[in-house]
Structure 1
């Protein structure tokens, strides 16, 4: 009898140890999934070897009763680079915080808005309506139209043109729409969309001035330009011209009107728009450069650029581009880029 009791006691102890060991050999794998901004991601798919779950509204996930051992944790979400990590699960379990990196288009769609940087001193492309304080112009309407094509809204952030590319590169906005000419030099710093506007440089002078009709007449004359523009580049190539750079073109045109400078070199549509409402200024000569405007994006972010290009193709083909052009320039475009 005593022998039986001892055996039974041993068996009980062994059972208890087995239960305790089993409990200690399994645990929970849980965590949270966020984007680069620290915002929780709902609906991300999480894999733990053959197990699968999705994150809740707070970006959280959990796997219960996971046995101790080595596992592969994977996390996926649309538009994000997949995350993968080898983890070791011990009896106490493990908790992970996962950051997913979304591509440029996915980030914009998650935010519901595409933020454009723009130098809002450049009518009729972009300027601030004094009555409402809101940005308006051809570029602004184009930004809203293109944003709608990819299912988001557009937001315009005012930026000084001379620093607008560095601001894009540091993430202050998603793209630049600011009557920006596509140039080889700028292509070293940003990627451009397909062209959306054909333009060129033109001379503006006082209406009473009949001695300046072409760039060659600018020898010894003071020419106003905007800092960082192709107009400034063109002016500096004119031998003998005295170039005066301004932070925005409206200041240059105002100085021309009161006689502080002799001429302004600037994009035709902007100078033409100014001259229509300022009779002391006129446009002379013909275009002496051929340029095209593009929307600028950070380099190596093709997804958003490609989506905007597809939207541009659509509005050029279906007539929406022409309608927008007529609204701001009063006539159909001679050519569509």
Structure 2
């Protein structure tokens, strides 16, 4: 089974890892910046600012789109945003002051709030509490690298804003290459529970068993630091997670490498990341319209470029696009 999504070649997927390769973690002495390295396939260096005081990219309110927001949210004046604060650069993580939440997810959430004339209120929570908060209407929207899946569409509405690609990360020098289920048969692989990558890995393990191979030994870690410690110590062979975080870690820590990439929706469909709201909340259309506005005015591209994620850009936000199938390989 090829590891390239249908709407993106393998070379482009690997180019994402190269574009995210960083020479050093940000620190106060260098102003909290990191720089892309000249790895194979990388043609330019991009400064990534990880300091707490860097200016956000902003845009103006659009009255006609702000009027689409449900009255209860307009009257409150804030957009309550749930984001999983798991220190997963460059998605959502803590700046060099170790308290300010930064990353591509909060930056895009703030842009959408700007367009809708709302004050963005970021709520850093655990992954599972993103959905608990959406279910209870404590939060209006999740901007937390959430993949569109057919199962999730039963409870939530989605406005897509980024391509979803996954990566297998291995200890540096391991020589491991993942091109399909057979390459993880009998391997110990780390993954976070409740994620689409867990679903994909479980599916691969079942495929291995069906083919007479050993199943995958799946290990669950919710904290990235625990995953990286296990990888470094040899307690796991591979870690499966979002491609941006894997590429960022591989380049900044210098202790791991990308062993393979995969679409977050499987072999036949390009996965998509989306702003997520409770089903029929009335918010998904204004979210999609706001995202399309920032795509058109260029601020969306500036945010992705800031975090080295231009290769994951979409040309249009779609409401409830096709997602990870219930049965996936």
- Shorter-chain TM range is 0.5 to 0.7
- Is 2:73 the counterpart of 1:108? yes
Equivalents in 1 of 2:287, 2:272: separation in Å? 16
Bigger Rg over Cα: 1
The 8 Å contact of residues 199 and 267 in structure 1, kept in 2 or not, is answered as yes
1-structure distance, mates of 2:167, 2:315: 20
Matches within 5 A, 1:308-323: 308-323=287-302
Question: Which range moved further: 155-164 or 228-237?
Answer: 155-164
Moved more, 307-316 or 323-332: 323-332
The answer to whether structure 1 residue 170 and structure 2 residue 136 are counterparts is: yes
The C-alpha deviation readout for 1:266-314, integer Å capped at 9, x for no partner, is 1111111111111111002332533110111111212x22111111111
Stretch deviating more after TM superposition (323-332 or 111-120):
323-332
Measured in 2, the distance between the counterparts of 1:258 and 1:223 equals: 13
Which secondary structure state, in structure 1, belongs to the residue aligned with residue 151 of structure 2?
helix
Report the equivalent of 1:86: none
Aligned-partner SS, 1:286: strand
In the alignment, what sits opposite 1:247?
222
TM-score, structure 1 normalization = 0.65
Flag the structure with more relative contact order, 1 or 2, with Cα contacts below 8 A and sequence separation at least 6. 2
Counterpart Cα distance in 1 of 2:253 and 2:262: 21
Please name the residue that 2:304 is paired with. 325
How much does 1:335 deviate?
A: 4.8
1:12-161 correspondence to structure 2 within 5 Å: 105-121=70-86, 122-131=88-97, 133-161=99-127
What's 1:192 paired with?
158
1:210 Cα offset (Å): 0.7
Tell me, in whole angstroms, the C-alpha distance in 2 between the residues paired with 1:219 and 1:212: 12
Does structure 2 conserve the Cα–Cα contact (< 8 Å) formed by 1:227 and 1:247? yes
Q: Which runs of 5+ in 2 are unaligned?
A: 1-67, 206-214, 317-329
Q: Any conservation in 2 of the 1:197–1:336 contact (CA below 8 Å)?
A: no
Q: Alignment partner for residue 273 of structure 2, among 281, 286, 293? A: 293
* Residue equivalent to 2:196: 230
Q: Is the 8 A contact 1:196 1:312 kept in 2?
A: yes
**What's the counterpart of residue 306 of structure 1?**
285
Structure 1 residues 196 and 281: alpha-carbon distance in aligned structure 2, compared to 1, 3 A threshold:
same
**Contact (CA 8 Å) 1:204, 1:282: kept in 2 or not?**
yes
Q: Which has the higher strand share?
A: 1
Give yes or no for contact 1:322–1:333 (8 Å, CA) kept in 2: no
Q: Secondary structure at the match of 1:208?
A: coil
In 2 relative to 1, CA 116–274 (structure 1 residues): closer, same or farther, beyond 3 Å? same
Which portions of structure 1, spanning 4 or more consecutive aligned residues, are displaced by more than 6 angstroms?
none
Aligned-pair CA distance for 1:139:
0.7
Aligned residues of 1:212 and 1:218 also touching (Cα < 8 A): no
Q: Please say if residues 150 and 311 of structure 1, whose CA atoms lie closer than 8 Å, have aligned partners that are also in contact.
A: yes
